[in-house]
Amino acid sequence: MLSFLRINRNIRTIRRYRNVLGILIKYGFGHVVEQLNINYYLELGRRIVTLGTAPKEIERLSQPERLRLAMVELGPTFIKLGQILSTRPDIIPKEYADEFGKLQDRVPSIPMEEVEGEIHRELGYPIDELFSELSDYPIAAASMAQVHRGRLKSGEDVVVKIRRPGLKQVIETDVDILMGLAYLIEHHIPAGEIYDPIGIVKEFRRSINREMDFSREGHTIDRFAANFAGTSTVHVPRVFWEYTGETVLTMEYVDGIKVSDMDRLQSEGYDLKKIAHNGADAFLKQVLVDGLFHGDPHPGNFFILPQNVICMLDYGMVGRLDAELKFQLADLLMAVLNRDVDSVISLLLYSGEIIEDINTKHLKRDLSELIDDYYEIPLQEINAGKLLTEFIEILTHYRIKFPADLMLLGKALITIEGIGRQLDPEFNMIEHLRPFMEKLVKEKATPANVSREMFRIAQSYGALAKNLPRDIKEFINRVNHNKFKIDLEHRGLEKLITDLDKSSNRLSFSLLIASIIVGSSLIMQTEKGPMLFGFPMLGLLGYSIAGFLGLWLAIGILRSGRL
């Protein structure tokens, strides 16, 4: 196994392995655990789990429901993994993505003593030297952090986000376990490599490490503030850097109304239609202009301030689109809106990652049917969220995988449109989307961008031409000196080796039992030595040992479930 997949064999990790596998078995995934052949890799010399069956009430649930419940019981690392996977219907089945979207990580708050200790460790001062007030009870508590309201010595009202003590060690252990399980899934579960479990865990490790560092979130907030500087319709909270670190984030307290509280918004005179339009424009600016967008725009993360100003909260999950990805997205959306199926297929094959061979004829048929369904509908009446959902279902069916940020964007766009339609039944995302896309397409065609792209292509070919003679020479030298090697990786042979080892052990055990029986029978014929009940005691002892060993072997075979 590769070095980065080696298992840390300390007691805490082994106990966590037992806990993880035990919970998976509890929720009816014992057959998957058995397929992973994990005992072989751990090399513990004993079973770390005992396979069993799930309780009857759990067996009645669907597999996605059982897996969601298992993630909740496994804790914050697995909950976060499920939440991220819920945004990736292109790499996991839709029913699992939908179920993981229900994951919540609300947990009991940590004691105030631990909060004070974490702030002191991170900022270097006790809280009474930093804050004139800090509430004893959190205004929000999740598995990774909790938030308290406070007031600085200088008088500003703030909210303080504190990471749970010891969380980093727990997540590091769990991610190591996930990486080991991903390796086993890819090598032992049929078609497991199609879902690229190792790639998913690597992306998850990068994402959760960034989310755990609150100073990164602070810098992200500052970038959003710079992007919306001078904008009268969006407010971004201020970060107080002298009270912020890796595990503590202190921000301006915002007193607003949740966008979901529409009755209160209406009663206080807010313009719901204007809020919907301002929100859509702000989100599309993030995506198609700034290339940095809020990745979790659910209603709880949007407050409405006086003058219909929108304030976004919780910047832990964000998406990023570089210039090339923005241009690809604009081309793809314009091709869909222009009902150009050939261009859509060409862009999909160029932009997406094809996991397996696809039937382009069937893909073209399905895309044509999708576009035909919307052909007679005026653009202003098209439901962009529904169109995008159906489009992603086609991508999923043909195993076309897109960058994680694009899939996160898809889910965020659907959420934004849903909020917009709640605020304004006549709201239509296409009306806001098309001007941004047309502007982006024109920007792509400017002389500056065209010359920049041609220069980049020329550089790539120049580097290739420069390195090609050296690479060819090195290849020929390796062949001439018999140093040319091809690495071959076997898949699934470990389980075959283990099964052969078990079979040979059982066969040897059976021969030993047979030998003891034959020897005891010969002793019984001699009628010599100490006697018991008229039979040689040594022969009776041999029969007893053979019977005990035979019973032990039979129980072992029956427990394995394979006669």
Residue 9 to residue 114: CA distance in whole angstroms: 30
**Side chain identity, residue 562:** R
Residue 71 to residue 52: CA distance in whole angstroms: 19
Tokens matching residue 113: 């003593």
SS3 content of the chain, % helix, strand, coil (to 5): 65, 10, 25
Instruction: Please give the full DSSP string across 228-270, using - where no structure is assigned.
Output: TTT-SSEE-PPB-GGG--SSEEEEE----EETT-HHHHHHTT-
For the chain, the C-alpha Rg in angstroms (whole number) is 31
Contact 217, 316 (CB under 8 A): yes
Residue 152 to residue 157: CA distance in whole angstroms: 7
Residue 186 to residue 173: CA distance in whole angstroms: 20
Q: Which residues are catalytic?
A: 296
CA 502 to chain centre: 36
CA 36 to chain centre: 20
Tokens matching residue 504: 């040979």
Phi, psi for 137 (deg, rounded to 5): -115, 135
Tally of CA atoms within 13 A in the half-sphere of 292 that contains its CB: 14
Contact 377, 371 (CB under 8 A): no
Which CA distances in Å does 555 have to 192, 307, 559?
Answer: 33, 76, 6
Contact 532, 543 (CB under 8 A): no
CA 284 to chain centre: 25
For 499-526, give one letter per residue: b (16+ CB within 10 A) or e. Answer: eeeeeeeeeeeeeebeebbeebeebeee
Q: Measured on CA atoms in the order 47, 52, 54, 55, is the torsion positive or negative?
A: negative
Residue 561 to residue 329: CA distance in whole angstroms: 52
The SS3 assignment for 163 reads strand
> Which residues have a Cβ under 8 Å from the Cβ of 219 and sit 6 or more positions away?
none
Which CA distances in Å does 514 have to 70, 78, 462, 509, 517?
Answer: 46, 50, 75, 9, 5
Residue 421 to residue 428: CA distance in whole angstroms: 8
For 336-363, give one letter per residue: b (16+ CB within 10 A) or e. Answer: bbeeebeebbebbeebbeebeebeeeeb
